[in-house]
Amino acid sequence: FAAAFAAAAAAATSFSSAAPARAAGVDPASLLTRRGMAKFTQGDVDGSIADFDAVIAAAPGRAPYMWQRGLSLYYAERLREGSAQFRRDVAVNPNDTEEAVWAFLCEARDKDIGFEKAREDLLVVGRDPRAYMRAAYALFAGTGDEDSLRAVAANGGAAEDFYTWLYLGLYREAKGDENGAKAAVLAAVATPYGSRSGDYMAALAEVHAKRRGWSV
């Protein structure tokens, strides 16, 4: 995903429509994206989707790049739409591991598709430079395992600790292991990176826990 996560929580704005944004010299689509991201980090999943949809209405060319919308659709249980969003993203960026994994997650939890079919249809992407994403992708593809994913944290730093727990939790949820998913996601939230980094995905881990009714 895009690198500029930290500003999302501070992006809420008083603009209520594109017109005043244009009058102030602000790109409405960018402003709506930031506002949608802020809403998501605050737990307003449906509100974030409304803003992301407004981005696409204002700037249709940005539609394939709206990974934020895909994440929100996942948590709104709009899994088919989420999968379609992530697949569009990979079509324009074939080296994006996260989008491939999130398309899988949407499809695995879709009762009409399921885990095994989602694995068969996992999008092929280029080699990710991040060891934790390579290990996560291997886990979802069936060529790696949980221990190998967590082993990355032993040789990494705070981000590796957080992300390996997060993707382990997401994988377990896709397999239907609710207790295992809960343990891993809460472990991600509790890491120093999860609690202090300001990363959009750290906020996502907390949103995930709250949407599932797990105490953070």
pLDDT, tens digit (0-9, with 9 covering 90-100), for 104-144:
999 999 999 999 999 999 999 999 999 999 999 999 999 99
pTM tops 0.85, yes or no: yes
Architecture of domain 29-107: Alpha Horseshoe (1.25)
Helices (H), 76-157: 79-92, 97-108, 114-120, 131-141, 146-154
Cα–Cα distance, 29 to 101 (Å, whole number): 26
pLDDT computed for residue 26 by the predictor: 73
Cβ(166)–Cβ(184) below 8 Å: yes
| pLDDT tens string 176-200 | 999 999 999 999 999 999 999 999 9
| pLDDT tens string 58-79 | 999 999 999 999 999 999 999 9
pLDDT computed for residue 203 by the predictor: 98
Cα–Cα distance, 43 to 71 (Å, whole number): 12
HEC string for 46-97: HHHHHHHHHHHHHCHHHHHHCHHHHHHHHHCCCHHHHHHHHHHHHHHCCCCH
Query: How is residue 168 annotated by DSSP?
Result: H
Confidence band, pLDDT 50/70/90 cuts, at residue 1: low
User: Where are the domains positioned within the chain?
Assistant: 29-107, 130-215
* Mean pLDDT along residues 157-161: 98
Residue 157 scores a pLDDT above 90 = yes
Cα–Cα distance, 119 to 140 (Å, whole number): 7
Cα–Cα distance, 28 to 62 (Å, whole number): 12
